[in-house]
A = this chain, B = another copy of it.
């Protein structure tokens, strides 16, 4: 990591742990309120809350807030967009874990939604979280000028989450099982499955923070690089991770003959590739002032994380 760190000496004074802890508390508090405010006694709401509030790195909402802070001049409420992104992520995990998909029984150290409730409940809880995300994105009471901005944010998030983005990525992931694919195919699949929503998180934050088109473009390059590095690290952790820390079983990708970076490049090669991507991400935002330090720290965290 020294090679990467030397490039960002200027953030050595930035307390990343404190920053991320505060943001996660803020996000979790807000997430808890969205479903609590309605019928939290229904089985459906219980299943939604179970998956939504069961921990998780909250990387998408934190990225959304950090991108917003990197460009924003005045106060605005970016939190609904951040929470909506986490809901979309949570729904995708519930559906990906289903027996007809990855058939996973453990997520974040707890039984997956369909195991804890039922398959039908898990399908519906996923559907409901996806729908609630759009309800939240359209709930913001603002002036007409802001309405167009929120409409823009809904559009870019729905595109990223949809059949030309995240969902197509999952479709390819399933279809690629037990089949050899090229590095190019693997990267494209991940740019859809993980990259698209991470990109939308950063772009939504930048748009809500009234970033300039130049800033937004640079942030999109940043997001593309960290999105891919995030997936590479996920793949590495599936080989080298400690289940006690990751909350997931190790070696599942190999057992399923999944196409992964370690399988194609080896663990060392994958680590090298991830570092290169993080350098590119930091380079993309090098002209940003210290308000972008959280984004710089997140880029490093993404490849250094143990879970």
Interface residues of A (CB under 8 A from B): 35, 38-39, 42-45, 48, 91, 95, 98, 100-101, 118-121, 123-124, 126-128, 130-132, 134-135, 137-140, 144-145, 147-148, 150-152, 154-155, 158-159, 161-164, 167-168, 170-171, 174-175
Least CB separation from A114: chain B residue: B100
A45 to B172, CA, bound (A): 12
Least CB separation from A88: chain B residue: B131
| Copies of the protein in its oligomer | 2
The answer on a CB contact under 8 Å between B163 and A131 is: yes
User: Could you say which residues of chain B place their CB within 8 Å of the CB of A164?
Assistant: 38-39
User: Could you say which residues of chain B place their CB within 8 Å of the CB of A135?
Assistant: 155, 158-159, 162
User: Could you say which residues of chain B place their CB within 8 Å of the CB of A145?
Assistant: 144
Least CB separation from A130: chain B residue: B130
Least CB separation from A148: chain B residue: B147
User: Could you say which residues of chain B place their CB within 8 Å of the CB of A45?
Assistant: 163
A138 to B147, CA, bound (A): 11
The answer on a CB contact under 8 Å between B138 and A43 is: no
Additional A-B contacts beyond A95-B123, A128-B167, A151-B151 (4; CB < 8 A): A44-B163, A44-B168, A130-B131, A134-B158
Among B35, B100, B139, which residue has its beta carbon within 8 angstroms of that of A120?
A: B100
Nearest Cβ on chain B to A207's Cβ, whole angstroms: 13
The answer on a CB contact under 8 Å between A163 and B128 is: yes
29 contacts across the A-B interface (CB closer than 8 A): A39-B164, A43-B171, A44-B163, A44-B167, A44-B171, A98-B120, A98-B123, A100-B118, A100-B119, A120-B171, A120-B174, A124-B171, A126-B127, A127-B130, A127-B167, A130-B130, A131-B158, A131-B162, A134-B134, A134-B158, A135-B158, A138-B152, A138-B158, A144-B144, A144-B148, A147-B147, A147-B148, A147-B151, A150-B151
